[in-house]
Chains A and B, each alone.
Chain A
Amino acid sequence: MAIAKAERLMNLALCLLGTRRPLSKRELRGSIEAYLEAGTDDSFNRMFERDKDDLRELGLVIETVENLDGDTGYLARRDSNRLPAITLDAEEAAALGLAAKVWQQARLAGAASGALQKLRAAGMPEAEDTYEAHHGALEPRIPVHEAAFEPLMLACRDRRPVAFDYRKANAARPEQRQVEPWTLECWRGHWYLAGWDRDRGAERVFRLSRITGRVRSRAGVFSAPVPDVVTVRETVESWAGETATRSALIKLRSGCGYPLRAKALSSRELGDGWDELEVPYGHGLDAWLVEFGPDAVVLKPADLRADVLDRLRAVAKG
C-alpha cells in the first residue's frame, strides 16, 4: 500500500529538522521509506521537489547547501525555524480563537487553525469555553465564494503577474486583462482586487465575481512600483454612488422610501400625501429611484429626470 503523503512529509520534516549537517538527496532517500518505494529516480526527484515546496508552504525554512564534493545537501536549521518567544494571556488567546474561526475559505481556515496549533504547542493558554459562553453573541464570517480568490491571494503574496478574463459590469463579452496584483479587499461581502493593469498602464480595481475562467500566472516580475497605500474602498464606493457631488430634488409619497429618507439632506411635507426631499445624487441614483415606481417622482435635475423616465418607459413597454 502506498504510504500516505502526510507520513512522508512528516518524515522529511523530522529528518531536515533533526540533522546538524546538510543531508544529500541520497541520504534522505535512504532514511525515508516512502522515497525508497518511489520507484525510478525521476519519480523520486519529482516527489522530493514537491514535498520540499509543501513543507515551505507550511513555514519550514529549508536551506540548500553545496558541499565540497559538489553534492547538494538540505537542512532546516533550528534557529531559523524556531518560533520567537510569545506569551499570550487567556483573554488574548480567546480573542485569537474567535478570529481564527471567521474564514470560510478552506486554505485560510486551515492556515488559521495551523497557526493556533503552533501557538498552542508554544504554550498559549487554552480558552476555558467561557469566551464562547459570554462572547458568543457575535459570529463574524468572511465569505469567499469566488474561485479566483485563492490563485489571486497567492499571486499577491508572491508578487506574481497574472492574466485573467474579466467581464465589466455592462459588457457582453469578457476580455483578457494582464494585471500585477497588489491587494485583495473584502467589502460588503464581496472581494475586490487592486493592481496595475499592464495594457491600460494604470491602477485598476476588479471585482472577483466578474473574473471568468482561470487565473493564469505570468512569468517575470512587477514592472510598476507598488504604492504604499492602495485605495480599493474609495473606488468601490464611487461605483456604488456613494461619492455624490450633486444633489437631486424628489417627491416621495408619505410613508414610502425609508432608505431615501435616511439619506436625505432635507425634507418637507407638501401635503396631499407627498413629501419633498433633497437627496445626494451619485452614480446609480436613477436605477434606485425607479425601484420605488409610482411612489417617487424626480423634480430636478433634468438629466436625472430624463434617465428615470427612460427606464420607466422601457419597463412599461414590457
Chain B
Amino acid sequence: MAANAIDQTRRMLSLVTYLRERPGAHVSDVARAFGITEDELISDLDVLPMCGTSFRGGDLLDIDTDGDRIWWHNPDDVAEPLRLAADEATALLVAARAVATLPGLREGDRQALLRATAKLEAAAGEVAGASSRLSVTFESEGGVFAEVDRAISERRRLWLRYYSPARDELTEREVDPIRLFAVGHTYMEAWCRLSEARRTFRLDRVAEIKLLDAPAAPPELELRDLSEGLVQPSAEDPEVVIEVGPGGRWVAEYYPHDSAVELPDGGLRITLRTPAPASLRRLALRLGGDGRIVSPPELADSARLAAGEALAAYDGHA
C-alpha cells in the first residue's frame, strides 16, 4: 500500500521513540506492534537514516537493519512520546465511545473500554474537545445480539424465526453462526442449514432466537470482504430499470446500483441488479406515483396487479 506522507511521517516519529527503548528489536515484532507489514517497516527504515537535525553536520539517525533486527547506534533524546493530534484523539475517542454502546459487548470489555477512554481523554488534553463534534450510534438489537455472541463463543447452533421482507414471511431455520458485524445495523453472518449456503441475517429482523445444544459446524469459508459494501450484486444477476420522479430519488441512496442517470424532470433512471427481481415488488408499490418499473415487464405487471387487488380489498370495506 502506498503510504501517504503524513501517515508515514507520523509513524516514523513514533517508531524512533519506540526503537530507542528496544535496541536490537526484531523487524517482525516491531511491524506487529505498529500494525504494518514488514515491507512497510523496511521502507520506513530506509528513510530514517536520511533524517536528522542537520544533514551537513552529520547529525543523522544512525539506524540500520539486517532485515531481521534493528539497531540504532546513536540514540538521542529527540525521541520522546508525542502528544496526540486533534484528528488522532477524535478518531480513537469517537470509535471507542461508539463501540462501548454496542449491545451485547461483554461487560468486562465495556469496562476496559470506558477506562481506556477516560485515560485517553485526560492524556489528549484540550484536543479531546474536538471529538464531541462527531458521534456514531450503532443499532441496539440487544437480546438477539447476546444470544448470537454466546453461540459464537460457545460454538453452538442457533434456531431462528427470521423475517424476509422480499416475501413478507417468517421462516424457521437452523444456522451455524460465523461472525457478527455492525455496518449501520448489526448483522450475523452464518451458514444456513436450510439453504446450505452462507447467509447474512440482519438482527432486527430476527423475530425469535434459541440457542441449541448441537455444536455449530460451519464449513471452512473465507470471510467476505465487507469494505466493498454489504450487497455485492453479481454481474449475472438480472437487470432492473426504474424511473423515479424527484420524490423517488431516495431509491438511489438506499439501493446499490450500476447507474443513475438524471432525467429532465429532476428524476432519475436507475439501473440495478438483483438475484430476485420479484423482491422489488414492494419497492414498486411503495413508490406509488413517484416512480415506475421500466423493466423487467413481469415485475411492473406484478406491482400493478397487487395494487389492483388491494384496491378491490378496499372496495369491500367502503
Contacts and interface: CB of A to CB of B under 8 A. Distances in A.
Interface of A: 3-7, 9-11, 13-15, 17-19, 30-33, 54-55, 57-61, 78, 80-89, 91-96, 98-100, 102-104, 106-118, 120-123, 126, 134-143, 153, 156-157, 167, 169-173, 182-190, 209-210, 233, 251, 255-259, 262, 287-288, 290-297, 299, 305, 309-316, 318
A120 B112 CA distance: 17
A293 B133 contact: no
Contacts of A310: 288-289
Contact of A102 (B98, B179, B253): B98
Given A10-B9, A157-B90, A186-B136, A290 B285 contact: yes
Q: How large is the interface on B (under 10, 10 to 19, 20 to 34, 35 or more residues)?
A: 35 or more
B81 A121 contact: yes
A100 to B, nearest CB: 6
Contacts of A91: 108-109, 112
B246 interface: yes
A116 B35 contact: yes
Nearest to A90: B112
Contacts of B87: 57, 107-108, 111, 157
Instruction: Describe A's contact surface by its main secondary structure.
Output: helix
A107 B185 CA distance: 23
Nearest to A259: B163
A16 to B, nearest CB: 9
Interface in B134-159: 134-139, 148-149, 152-153
Contacts of B134: 153, 156, 183-185
A157 B55 contact: no
Contact of B286 (A15, A33, A95, A290): A290
B219 interface: no
Contacts of A109: 91
A316 B92 contact: no
**Interchain residue pairs A-B with the least CB separation, the first 9:** A189-B184, A172-B266, A59-B85, A311-B288, A314-B289, A122-B81, A293-B306, A115-B88, A315-B307
Greatest chain A CB density within 10 A among B21, B184, B267, B300 is at B184
A294 B312 contact: yes
A6 B5 contact: yes
A95 B107 CA distance: 12
Interface in B113-138: 113, 115-116, 119-120, 122-123, 125, 127, 130, 132-138
A91 B15 CA distance: 23
Given A82-B80, A96-B96, A255-B169, A117 B35 contact: yes
Contact of A138 (B17, B182, B282): B182
B310 A108 contact: no
Contact of B85 (A89, A98, A111): A111
Given A13-B13, A33-B55, A309-B314, A172 B88 contact: no
Contacts of B289: 310-311, 314-315
Contact of B5 (A9, A15, A32): A9
B99 A98 contact: yes
